[in-house]
Structure 1
C-alpha cells in the first residue's frame, strides 16, 4: 500500500503537547480556532513547515523571510515583528521541552471575520497565529526504500491564476493531485507545468540525475523551496553540475537517479515513476533506494542542518 512523505510512527508524546494559539499555550485536545476564521472559511493565510534539530531550527531566517514575503504578497500584516514571532516559536518549543526530532507547523491566517465572506475588509481583529510542534521523524524504511511517483493531470497553473510560489493555506490543487496519486497506488504526485514540463510534486520538490548532472525544474511553478535551494547550493559545492531547466517525462524516465526534497524529510529517493524503475541500466553498481549522487547530497544536507540550526535570526 502506498504511503506518503509524512509516513511516520505515531509518537505518544504528541498527545500532551502544548500548542500556541495567538500566544496562549493550550493542550492539544483543547486547541482550536473560530469557525469564522479566515483560514477555515477561505484558506486565507500563509504557513511554514520547520524542523528542530539539536535545540535550534535550521534555515530559520529563510523560513521567516518566506513567511513574511508571502504575507506581504496577499496584503496581510502578521502583527508581530520577525523577532517577536521567533520568540513566540521558541517559547512554545521550550514549554514543551523539545530539543530534537520535532516538526513544526507555523500558520498565520488573516483572522476572524464578522461574517463568512471573502472580502478582507470584513475581518475583525488581528491575524490568527498557530504554532503546532510535534515529535515527528521520517520513516527510515521509506527513506531507504524510496518513493513511488505517479504523474497526475492536475497542473501547476499560471501565476495570474494563483501564483504557485505562494505558500498559502489554499492547497486544493495539491490535495487533488495527492488524491489522484494515492488512487493510482503511488506515494506522491508528480505535477507538470502548463507547458507539459515537470514542475514539482504535490508536497515536495523533484530532482533527477542524468549522466552525473543534477536537474530540477525552473522553479517558476513551485514554491521557492528552502531545502530545494540548499540542495542546489550543496551540489555546486560538491562539484556536481546542476541545472534548473525545463525537462519532460522522457528525461525523467531515462534518469539514473531521482529524489524529492522537503523540510520534513530532507532528501528521499524515488524508486519508481509511473511504473518505471529509476536506475541507470548501464551501471554496474547494485543499489537500492538512493543512488551515489543522492547519497552524497543527503549526507551533506544532514550536516548542513546541524551546522545551521539556530534560535534567533
Structure 2
C-alpha cells in the first residue's frame, strides 16, 4: 500500500465519478484529452487543488489568487473569471453529488497544439480546463504513525529559471526526488535549496520544532503552500514562535519534532529522516497542538458567511 501524505482511504464511489473537460462532464472511463494538448506535450499548464468540507470550498480566495498569479507568470491569458471557475468546480461537485471530504484538482493548460512543439504560437485553441473531484479522506493511520523522509540530491530550482513557487505541470524534478526517496526506503523526499539549506518536500512543505519554536524555510525556494501559510498564521494568532529562516540538515537531525503540510493531508508528522529518528520516534505534542489549531481554522472557514 502507498504510504505518504497522499495516502487516502479507499472509496468505491470514485470509480463512477464524472470529470469536467471544457464545460462537459464525462464518466471517468471516458474522460480523455488530445495528445496534442500542451500540458501533455511539454508540461505547459498550471493547476490548483481545493478541499471541500460540509459543502464549502476551503480558503478559496488564497487558492484562486495563487492560480491567477501562476497564469500571469507563464503568460497564460485565462478567458474566464474567478467566479466562472468556481462555478465550473461547483458544477463538477453537483454532478457527482459531492459535499464533504472532497479533493478537487483543477488543471488548465495553454491549449491544443497544431503540431508537437513548445512554441506557444502553435497553440490553436483556447486553454483546456479539466476538473477532477474525488471522495478523499486522508489516512488516519498515516497521521498516527507518521512518515519517513529521505534527503534527495535533486535541489529545488533557482527562481531565475523555474520559480519553486509556481504551481505548474512541470514536476519532473520533484518526481525524480521522490523516486530517490522511495528507492532509499522512505515515504517522501526532503529537498534542499541551491545553497544547501532545507527548502521543502517533493509534494508538501516542511516544518521542524526546536524547543518552543517552530521553524520553516524562508519561502524563497519552496512551494507557495496555502496550508503552510495557514500554519504560520495559526502560530502567530496563538503566540507560538514561528521562524521563517535558513537552516540545514544539522538542525533537522537534532529537531524535537518535524511535520509537513499540504492541502490534502493538513499536518502530517515526520518521525524519521535519512534513517535518523526524530525526537522519540512518535508524533510530537507541538505537531498535535498545531493540527488541532489548524482544524479549528478549517471549522471557522466552514462556518464563515
Same-fold status (TM-score > 0.5): yes
Q: How many residues align?
A: 305
Deviation for aligned residue 1:303: 1.8
Q: Work out whether residues 58 and 306 of structure 1, in 8 Å CA contact, stay in contact via their aligned partners in 2.
A: no
Which residue of structure 2 aligns with residue 284 of structure 1?
none
Q: Which runs of 4+ in 1 moved over 6 A?
A: none
Deviation string 1:154-197 (CA, Å, 9 cap, x unpaired) is: 00021112111101000011000010000001011000000000
Structure 1 unpaired stretches of 5+: 281-287
Deviation for aligned residue 1:238: 1.4
Q: How does 1:1-313 map to 2 (within 5 A)?
A: 3-279=3-279, 289-309=282-302
Q: Work out whether residues 21 and 129 of structure 1, in 8 Å CA contact, stay in contact via their aligned partners in 2.
A: yes
Q: Work out whether residues 200 and 223 of structure 2, in 8 Å CA contact, stay in contact via their aligned partners in 1.
A: no
Deviation string 1:122-174 (CA, Å, 9 cap, x unpaired) is: 00111000000001111111011000000010000211121111010000110
- Aligned to 1:190, the other structure's residue is in SS state strand
Q: Work out whether residues 53 and 306 of structure 1, in 8 Å CA contact, stay in contact via their aligned partners in 2.
A: no
Alpha-carbon distance between aligned partners in 2 of 1:302 and 1:37, rounded to the nearest angstrom: 38
TM-score w.r.t. length of structure 1: 0.95
Q: Work out whether residues 71 and 77 of structure 1, in 8 Å CA contact, stay in contact via their aligned partners in 2.
A: yes
Deviation string 1:213-268 (CA, Å, 9 cap, x unpaired) is: 00000010112110000000101111111100000000000100100000000000
Alpha-carbon distance between aligned partners in 2 of 1:289 and 1:40, rounded to the nearest angstrom: 41
TM-score w.r.t. length of structure 2: 0.97
- Aligned to 1:203, the other structure's residue is in SS state coil
Alpha-carbon distance between aligned partners in 2 of 1:254 and 1:2, rounded to the nearest angstrom: 28
**Relative contact order, higher structure (CA 8 A, sep 6+):** 1
- Aligned to 2:246, the other structure's residue is in SS state coil
Deviation for aligned residue 1:9: 3.2
Q: Work out whether residues 44 and 110 of structure 1, in 8 Å CA contact, stay in contact via their aligned partners in 2.
A: yes
* Greater displacement, 260-269 / 86-95: 86-95
Deviation for aligned residue 1:311: 11
